[in-house]
Amino acid sequence: MMNSLKIMLAKTELSANITSKNNHIAIVGFGVSGLLTFLNIVKNYQKSSENLTIHIFEKSQFFPKGIAYSTKNINHLLNVPAYLMGVVDEDREDFFKWLISKGYNYKKNDFVPRQIFGIYLEDLLKLALKIADEKNISYQFLNKEISEIAIKDKHYLIDEDTYNYCIIAVGVRLKNKSKNFWHVDIKKYLHEKEIHISGCGLTAFDAAISLRDLNYEGVIFMHSRSGKMPQVHKIIDSSKKINPPLSIEDTALPLSLIFRKFVKNCKNSTDWRPCFDAIRPLTQDFWSKLNTEKKKRFTRHCIRLWNIHRHRCPESEFAAITKMIDLGKLVLVKKRSDAENVIDCTGFDYGFRSKLINNLIENGIVKFDDLELGIVSQYDNFYVIGGLNFGSIFEITAAPDIALQALKISRHVI
């Protein structure tokens, strides 16, 4: 298992000089987005093409598979069935095929532990390195955090090296990092009679499951403004074609009518889940055609309701949470927590600022989107992949969505 970028550093030595026959690419960040970008670039590269050099900048010394996929808890499950989690060559079943090849005893509709998906990503990294070596692609992993990128004649300067293309794959930040579930040591709370969690979504479920697995004996209070939990998954016969509840033309309607039509069509369906999911292939185009005011109103008034239906919970996990509620071990509270040692499970801060983002703005390489919930490239050879596109693309945090974006980027740079 390849965990450390130091191992890869030892494998690669290259010249950083740019020539007219050298396509020099920088990937800044190497979580899921960076990995899938790298994989797609080396897969699409043809040996007859110009020489290819790739520099990958990552502040962690280890391959950061993303917070969700780095969990060590076997009871933290994917919230998408195995057969839909593939990220290779637009093959949604690639992950399920990998499970079978590795001897795992899972069915297509099973919700697999995220820890296992993390192992799958590690295998994809090995595959990418193997392909790069076979094609004599020069690559180097640089263990450092990048805070400045300059531009000159549509080329990008990073630490005095010049790049024809640059891909920003740094991901988004979590809210309230010092108290966030993924960063705090929850074992230090086990002696307390009460533990308070801010948020009521899937991350809050992860926290509750973790505390249960640590045999916490007190009461967990889960706080949110809505008091609504994520909806539960239900496996439906997928062979029957379901029409989307909205069309692209509906973007011209007032937001209230868009909402009513969406809800009506979902309710009139045999089960609302496949009808809701049928909009997914259209979501990015639909979002891009909404005007700024509709987008702002949606993020203010509809996003929580969208999230609890869009990001559903596996039945086994939902049953575990329900059991904790029935036993009085978990209490839902419809208000914000004022507890001093609250564990934050409220999700991502899409509108965060950093030295790198501020630098890119100052240099005119990117700009903030209309909602200031991400950034947008101003050049056709500079790319932003993953969650930093939230304001402009919306549905771009799931691994399969990121995989499609990585595939498109790779076709542009090769």
Beta bridge partners of 367: 376
Structure token digits, residue 1 = 């298992």
Q: What is the average per-residue pLDDT within 387-400?
A: 91
Rounded to an integer, what distance in angstroms lies between the CA atom of residue 411 and that of residue 9? 26
The residue assigned the tokens 């949470």 is 321
Q: Do domains 5-172+350-413 and 177-232+312-348 have the same CATH topology?
A: yes
Quick check: 301 pLDDT over 70?
yes
| pLDDT score for 3 | 47
Quick check: 195 pLDDT over 50?
yes
Residues 137-191: tens digit of each pLDDT: 999 999 999 999 999 999 999 998 999 999 999 988 888 888 999 999 999 999 9
Structure token digits, residue 114 = 């995220």
Rounded to an integer, what distance in angstroms lies between the CA atom of residue 289 and that of residue 250? 10
Cβ(397)–Cβ(390) under 8 Å? yes
In this structure, the number of other CB atoms found within 10 A of the CB of residue 48 comes to: 5
Mean pLDDT of the chain: 91
| pLDDT score for 397 | 83
| pLDDT score for 342 | 93
Of 302-306, 356-360, 367-371, where does mean pLDDT reach its minimum? Answer: 302-306
Residues 269-288: tens digit of each pLDDT: 989 999 999 999 999 999 99
Distance of CA 279 to the CA centre of its chain: 19
Q: What is the average per-residue pLDDT within 24-28?
A: 97
| pLDDT score for 112 | 97
| pLDDT score for 124 | 96
Residues 365-391: tens digit of each pLDDT: 999 999 999 999 999 999 999 999 999
Angle at CA of residue 271, ends 97 and 256, nearest 5°: 115
Rounded to an integer, what distance in angstroms lies between the CA atom of residue 81 and that of residue 79? 7
- What are phi and psi for residue 320, nearest 5 degrees? -65, -40
> pLDDT above 70 covers what percent of the chain?
94
| pLDDT score for 212 | 97
**Under CATH, to which class is 177-232+312-348 assigned?**
alpha beta
Q: What is the average per-residue pLDDT within 314-332?
A: 97
Beta bridge partners of 333: 223
Residues 38-48: tens digit of each pLDDT: 999 999 998 77
Rounded to an integer, what distance in angstroms lies between the CA atom of residue 84 and that of residue 79? 10
Structure token digits, residue 64 = 């950061």
Quick check: 13 pLDDT over 60?
no
Rounded to an integer, what distance in angstroms lies between the CA atom of residue 220 and that of residue 208? 7
Question: In angstroms, how far is the first alpha carbon of the chain from the final one?
Answer: 29
Please, which pLDDT band fits residue 7 given cuts at 50, 70 and 90? Answer: very low
Quick check: 79 pLDDT over 60?
yes
Quick check: 2 pLDDT over 80?
no
Rounded to an integer, what distance in angstroms lies between the CA atom of residue 187 and that of residue 149? 40
Cβ(223)–Cβ(199) under 8 Å? yes
Q: Where are the domains of the chain?
A: 5-172+350-413, 177-232+312-348, 248-310
The residue type of 329 is K
| pLDDT score for 21 | 60
> What global pTM score does this model have?
0.91
> For the packed helices 399-413 and 32-44, what is the interaxial angle rounded to 10 degrees?
40
> pLDDT above 90 covers what percent of the chain?
78
Tell me yes or no: is domain 5-172+350-413 CATH 3.30.429.10.
no
Of the candidates 248, 183, 245, 196, the residue with the CA atom closest to the CA atom of residue 224: 196
3-state secondary structure of 327: coil
